[in-house]
Amino acid sequence: MQRLDLSKGGANHQKPEGDAVMTTAQGAPVSDDQNWLKAGARGPSLLEDQVAREKIFHFDHERIPERVVHARGYGVHGTFELTDPIPDLTRAAPLSGEKGKKTPVFVRFSTVAGNKGSPDLARDVRGFAVKFYTEEGNWDIVGNNIPVFFIQDAMKFPDLIHAAKSAPDRGFPQAQTAHDNFWDFISLSPEAMHMVMWIMSDRAIPRSFRFMEGFGVHTFRFVNDKGQAHFVKFHWKPRQGLQSVLWNEAVKINGADPDYHRRDMWAAIEAGDFPQWDLGVQVFDDDFAERFDFDVLDATKIIPEELVPVRRIGTMTLDANVDNFFAETEQVAFCTQNVVPGIDFTEDPLLQGRNFSYLDTQLKRLGGPNFTHIPVNAPRCPVRHFQQDGHMAMHNPTGRANYEPNSWGEGTGEERGPRACPMRGFVSHEVVVQGVKQRERSETFADHYSQARQFYISQTAVEQRHMVDALTFELSKVGRMDIRQRMVGHVRNIDEDFAGALAAGLGLAQMPEPVAPARAPIADLPPSPALSIQANGPGKFASRKLGLYLADGADARVVQALLAAVKKAGGMVEIIAPHIAGAWLSDGSLVEADQKIDGAPSVLYDCVAIVMGKEAGQRFNADKPSLDFASDAFAHAKFIGYVPQVLPILECAAIAKWMDDGCVDLAAEGGVDTFMTRCAGLRHWDREAVTRA
């Protein structure tokens, strides 16, 4: 049999350049990575082949258990820059140094309920976890894009997650809360009602990781170098502004691109459009905590920004995608217990339980106590202790002494090893703790409806309609009438109009009685405008994407003007055409397409424009992807730019007669400028009155 001459190259073999020779995990050069060693070309495979066995061995073990919650995540590197130092409040290294001080960070965004393979646009809470690599150790703010949580005590966390996940007998539904188990649990847990308002709002279907807020959820403590303490809540405010999608869009995006959020973040960073968030803090003292209507240790409550303004003290910029998804995003280990001197815990019972749970789970996922040896988890400051050995230890303390105290190496030599330092080390703030040992929920945690109502009345009328629609949809997927009725009974304690619309949407024959509250709600809490997405929109098109649908004969003048206007506004353009080759413009130039029309529905874009020649406009007026592109954009209240030549498409899409101020003739004088000005509003919400009719 003729042997393959590797020196000349051949099938599946390329002569390596320089030293790029493939090796085994032990470093031995590999001669053939395509064929298992056999006894003859058609003979049995031999167990002797150590190269093949190593390759299969590693493949068989390359998966680690996915996270029970927050399994689907996406990680990004960045930097935090301090803009307003606060040494008077905390000695925490990233927050108390000189103005302009920079600290590297790693951020992981995630969904909560779905598995690793679930779609990005599930209606769900989004994880927003930030790891600061400080000179005094790693500090993790393990938060969400919603500032409250479902439960008040960590004891209930397994029940919450079991109820939200797929039913154990049937293994579905995946990444959804629209099922009996979840709403059965929620309807029996009044403490969850504030969170219900948030997850039924547009906050639970964000347009992008880049356009959502982050919150530390819990109340922590700041401690300064004098030992003085203040309470603090952490906020991440996106400089790109807030934005979400409609539920109908979310469903279609999941079908068109289930990796939509991941792709969006990757593409933005690769394009140099680095997303930024300001770190804000709400700082308050014991006196405020005593006077506040709610317990600051209750994770189901917020402190309205109108009562305690958010002070912005630094900016986080995410500017580097990971080199390897598994090594970084999958193996990163966040722990709420990871704090640095100057940050301390409070007695929040949910936080206390998380401090135990997050550390405990790393043993299962990452195999042992040495997960801090993994580069993405490793502190970027000197690490000195006497801990040693264990599964996958990458390094051990040097010297004879592996215990403390010891008397080796009198003085401060390496042999003697490190010593605790009361002046520099972490010291828990002194808090007087006294009480009877008991299993009991504090009476100060008993109001479950007041802030739920405050959140609802803080939304715009459009956002309120979306909330009613969302809860109606979710409960329509619940098979048991008693669960639906219980939920309506809870909502009656929040807002009667909301409850009435919900009951009507569910077709209930009569209104259920309100659920008896543990404590009477406060009915006159004022609205908090900071809680509305629409009231806090960006007012600009920067970082957004235009879907520009072109076909042959498109007016080159309009196309070039549109491309220039979007670039000036700081936005992005994706070219869509009937064929991936692109479209010929009126001046004879070819514009290459990024997407083919049947693979680029309008749900993937913030606004759309359709520019074609007369012949193309008539040819595609019966093309289903073209009609869907236009009709969905209209139904989703998006701004639509068009030229008169595409009116046949708009007529066949049954939207021409409903044309409104959100539809702009790009060929008219000043049309492109008008279109871009209106696109800064992101949506033409007035259109919903038509599309809902």
Q: What percent of the chain has pLDDT over 90?
A: 82
- Alpha-carbon span 208 to 544, nearest angstrom: 10
pLDDT digits (tens, 9 = 90+) for 360-390: 888 889 988 999 999 999 999 998 888 889 8
Query: What is the 8-class DSSP label of residue 598?
Result: G
For the residues 273-286, what does the mean pLDDT come to?
98
In this prediction, residue 190 has a pLDDT band, given cuts at 50, 70 and 90, of very high
pLDDT digits (tens, 9 = 90+) for 155-176: 999 999 999 999 999 999 999 9
The residue from 12, 13, 115, 144 that is catalytic is: 144
pLDDT digits (tens, 9 = 90+) for 37-46: 999 998 899 8
Q: Does residue 266 register a pLDDT over 90?
A: yes
Q: Does residue 410 register a pLDDT over 80?
A: no
Which contiguous run of DSSP H or E holds residue 232?
Answer: strand 229-238
For the residues 259-287, what does the mean pLDDT come to?
98
* 241 within 8 A of 277, measured Cβ to Cβ: no
Phi-psi region of 332 (alpha: psi -120 to 50; beta: other; left: phi over 0): beta
Q: Which has the higher per-residue pLDDT, 150 or 16?
A: 150
For position 312, what pLDDT does the model report?
A: 98
- Alpha-carbon span 650 to 526, nearest angstrom: 44
* 583 within 8 A of 552, measured Cβ to Cβ: yes
* 630 within 8 A of 655, measured Cβ to Cβ: yes
The residue from 13, 35, 70, 377 that is catalytic is: 70
For position 9, what pLDDT does the model report?
A: 37
For position 146, what pLDDT does the model report?
A: 98
- One-letter amino acid identity for 277? W
* 140 within 8 A of 338, measured Cβ to Cβ: yes
* 588 within 8 A of 525, measured Cβ to Cβ: no
pLDDT digits (tens, 9 = 90+) for 553-578: 999 999 999 999 999 999 999 999 99
- Alpha-carbon span 347 to 298, nearest angstrom: 10
In this prediction, residue 693 has a pLDDT band, given cuts at 50, 70 and 90, of low
End-to-end, the C-alpha distance of the chain in Å comes to 77
pLDDT digits (tens, 9 = 90+) for 7-37: 333 334 455 556 789 898 898 999 999 999 9
pLDDT digits (tens, 9 = 90+) for 589-630: 999 999 999 999 999 999 999 999 999 999 999 999 999 999
Taken in order of first residue, the domains within the chain and their CATH numbers are 73-373 (2.40.180.10), 450-534 (1.20.1370.20), 539-691 (3.40.50.880)
pLDDT digits (tens, 9 = 90+) for 442-452: 999 999 999 99
pLDDT digits (tens, 9 = 90+) for 125-138: 999 999 999 999 99
pLDDT digits (tens, 9 = 90+) for 451-475: 999 999 999 999 999 999 999 999 9
Q: Is 579 a catalytic residue?
A: no
For the residues 76-88, what does the mean pLDDT come to?
98
- Alpha-carbon span 490 to 189, nearest angstrom: 10
Bond before 173 cis per omega within 30 degrees: yes
For position 419, what pLDDT does the model report?
A: 83
For position 12, what pLDDT does the model report?
A: 44
Q: Is 70 a catalytic residue?
A: yes
φ, ψ (nearest 5 deg) of residue 230: -135, 155
Residue that has been written with the tokens 């008077």 in this structure:
88
Q: What percent of the chain has pLDDT over 70?
A: 96
- DSSP letter string over 3-38? PP-GGG-BTTB-PPPTT---B-TTS-B-S-SS---B
pLDDT digits (tens, 9 = 90+) for 644-675: 999 999 999 999 999 999 999 999 999 999 99
In the three-class reduction of DSSP (H, G, I as helix; E, B as strand; rest coil), residue 46 is classed as: coil
Whole-number mean pLDDT of the chain?
Answer: 93
* 105 within 8 A of 133, measured Cβ to Cβ: yes
For position 420, what pLDDT does the model report?
A: 84
Contacting residues for 428 by C-beta, under 8 A, at least 6 apart: 344, 345
* 106 within 8 A of 77, measured Cβ to Cβ: yes
* 323 within 8 A of 331, measured Cβ to Cβ: no
- Alpha-carbon span 26 to 191, nearest angstrom: 55
